[in-house]
Amino acid sequence: MSKHSFKFIHLTDPHLVTRPQKLFDLDVHERLRLAVDSINANFDDAELCMVTGDIAHWGERAAYDEINEILSGLRMPWHLLIGNHDERDTMRAAFPDAPWTGDGFLHYTIDTPAGIFIVLDTVDDGKNGGQLCEVRLRWLRQQLLETRDLGRDVFLFMHHAPMDIGIHGMNLIGMSNPEDLIAVLQGSTHIRHLFFGHLHRTCHGSWRGIPFSTVKATSHQVALVVDDTTLLKCSHENPAYAVVLVGDDSVVIHDHSYFEEDTVFDYDRGEPEGGDGPPDHQKDWA
């Protein structure tokens, strides 16, 4: 079966600040509002929206209140992850109904028709990089065992990338203990995909046999400088969000650059100048 039966939105790293502040000369509030408008206009049949962390750039309560107001405009449920820029106690106070654990972690599961979404909390409080402590690793191990026994597919969501992604400035602030995560994931053949944020640019691939993806932020982007020495550089590339289509035998991800929606045109192949119709190898095309 190839039909895509489940659609959701992956949005990441809004980095809201309190008004009237801007971030790197960007109106991050407006950029997020435009993303919400675009999702509602084009993909309001999506089941839900996952927002993979760095909700507020400075962790300010007013910024959390503002993102709550903006995301509440979505015509679908939305679910937050915590990122390294977020302040745990302030975010918890702003979103008291989120599924915080007694230990103060924001990790939880969502039961969907496509499978179980397992949401991880990779924040190492006070540090830029991420970590999964033993408490969180035990929790993840238990979720993987339970979903395996139930015969359910799993989709993982986290903020930090657990792998070397080729951009030195981001590798410096990745996860500090990926081998511990690997030890927990090893043998879990029911994991279909890993989604993360933090990177601020489009990146797809596989890690230890698990397909992964991330998408550009709604705020600023990270410049693509692939070497082993350059510190973090950012860019003003256009923002995006991802539309994820899950079927029984596929996971298809479309990154949508919503600032460029006015560039759409109808395709007309035409014919070469001075020619007599299309070339022979194209004459039978519909």
Query: Using one digit for the tens of pLDDT, what is the confidence trace for 108-143?
Result: 999 999 999 999 999 999 999 999 999 999 999 999
More confident residue, 260 or 274: 260
- Name 88's Cβ contacts closer than 8 Å, sequence gap at least 6: 82, 104, 123, 125
How far is it, in rounded angstroms, from Cα 31 to Cα 217?
A: 10
- Name 244's Cβ contacts closer than 8 Å, sequence gap at least 6: 7, 8, 9, 10, 195, 251, 252, 253, 254
Task: Give start and end residues of each alpha helix (H) in 43-121.
Answer: 61-71, 88-94
Tell me the pLDDT tens digit for each residue of 157-172. Answer: 999 999 999 999 999 9
- Name 136's Cβ contacts closer than 8 Å, sequence gap at least 6: 105, 107, 120, 121
- Given the DSSP bridges, would you call strands 241-247 and 4-11 parallel, antiparallel or unpaired? antiparallel
Whether pTM > 0.85 for this model: the answer is yes
Residues 193, 210 contacting (CB under 8 angstroms):
yes
Residue 236 has which token pair? 């003003």
Question: If you count DSSP H runs as helices and E runs as strands, how many of each does the chain have, helices first?
Answer: 6, 13
How far is it, in rounded angstroms, from Cα 195 to Cα 218?
A: 16
Spell out the domains of the chain, with CATH numbers in brackets.
4-259 (3.60.21.10)
Tell me the pLDDT tens digit for each residue of 177-194. Answer: 999 999 999 999 999 999
pLDDT band per the 50, 70, 90 thresholds, residue 2:
very low
Residues 242, 56 contacting (CB under 8 angstroms):
no
Helix (H, G, I), strand (E, B) or coil at 178: helix
